[in-house]
Chains A and B, each alone.
Chain A
Amino acid sequence: TQLLEQSPQFLSIQEGENLTVYCNSSSVFSSLQWYRQEPGEGPVLLVTVVTGGEVKKLKRLTFQFGDARKDSSLHITAAQPGDTGLYLCALNKGGSEKLVFGKGTKLTVNP
């Protein structure tokens, strides 16, 4: 069983559309990170959310941490081809330094 479930697994949209991807867990976590990974590259950190109900914005990206700290969402407004990539959520399990990742959402934005 995956600790973090991400949905949808694949998403293909047209430039200019809005989208939301989700990261859910049955466990409460103290903090969660979102990464974007492009083909042939390692993941790059986008944001860390810590407080239940927290909302963070990064240009056209809006990240939300659920009130119960068991789920998170990433909303992209007016998607662009440069947003194409694999979006991963991750947390650290049991207070250790290792990251546990979801399987990711593979986003394709078509021009």
Chain B
Amino acid sequence: GAGVSQTPSNKVTEKGKYVELRCDPISGHTALYWYRQSLGQGPEFLIYFQGTGAADDSGLPNDRFFAVRPEGSVSTLKIQRTERGDSAVYLCASSSTPGTSGRINEQFFGPGTRLTVL
């Protein structure tokens, strides 16, 4: 079956520009996550959606970053006034249901969008 897909796979933009990154989760998965992975680092949490609402956006670094999931499936991560420090791989993951009793639910990751800000 289809896994998590992300588009574009690569995005090169200039400092100050606006970008949108798209994530198509596994069909039927209610939870969707965005992470950012810089070179030589593990993924870093940005935001988590349960259905259409952002259940936890504590990882968004500042107000230039915003994400939506209007119909509870596809999500878009939006970055305004991009800076060179925003260059990273942006990963999306989805899972079927939240974990229970403190246990982690399995998250399925997409291949990521590599963003380069010149």
How many of B's residues come within 8 Å of A, CB to CB? 32
Task: Place the interface of chain A in its size category.
Answer: 20 to 34
- Minimum distance in angstroms from A52 CB to a CB of chain B: 14
Q: Please tell me if the beta carbons of B42 and A101 are within 8 angstroms of each other in the complex.
A: yes
A42 within 8 A of partner (CB): yes
Chain A proximity of B47: nearest CB distance (Å): 9
A93, chain B: closest CB distance, angstroms: 9
Q: Which residue of chain A is the closest to B106 with respect to CB atoms?
A: A45
B72 within 8 A of A: no
| Residue of A30, A33, A43, A48 with highest tally of chain B CB at under 10 A | A43
> 6 smallest A-B Cβ distances: which pairs?
A42-B109, A101-B42, A30-B102, A98-B45, A92-B104, A31-B103
List B residues at the A interface (Cβ < 8 Å). 4, 31, 33, 35, 40-45, 48, 50, 55-56, 58-59, 91, 93, 95, 98-99, 102-112
- Chain A residues packing against B (C-beta within 8 Å): 30-31, 33, 40-45, 48, 50, 88, 90-92, 95-104
